Amino acid sequence: MIEEPDIKDEELRSITARTLITAGQHDLIRKEETDHIASSIRGAREIIVKRATHTSYVVHSNRLAEIILQFTEKNGRNEGSCQYRN
C-alpha cells in the first residue's frame, strides 16, 4: 500500500506489550514493511501465512485463531518463539 501503514518508528519502539505481527504471503503490505514493523517492536513475533492474501487468512478465521492461540499459549509460558505450521 502506498501510504499505509503510517506508523512512526518511535511509536513502534514505544510498544511494550507482547506483540504478534501477521501478514499473508501475498499481502498488500510489502514484506519489507511487515518486517520493519516486527523488528521495531521489542520481542515481537512475525508470522507470514503461506498462500494467503491481506484478508484471506482473516476471512478463514480458523487459520487465524490457530496462529493467535499458539502465540498466546507460548507467550503465556514466556517462551520466546511461536511456530505456525502452514
1-49 tens-digit pLDDT: 556 668 899 999 999 999 999 999 999 888 999 999 999 999 999 999 8
Give the residue among 25, 66, 17 at the shortest CA–CA distance from 45: 17
Q: Report DSSP state, residue 3.
A: S
Say what the pTM is. Answer: 0.76
Place of cell 518511535: 10
pLDDT for position 78: 46
81: confidence class by pLDDT, cuts 50, 70, 90:
very low
pLDDT for position 85: 45
Dihedral (CA of 68, 43, 17, 80) sign: positive
**Cβ atoms < 10 Å from Cβ of 20:** 18
Q: Which three cell numbers stand for residue 47?
A: 508470522
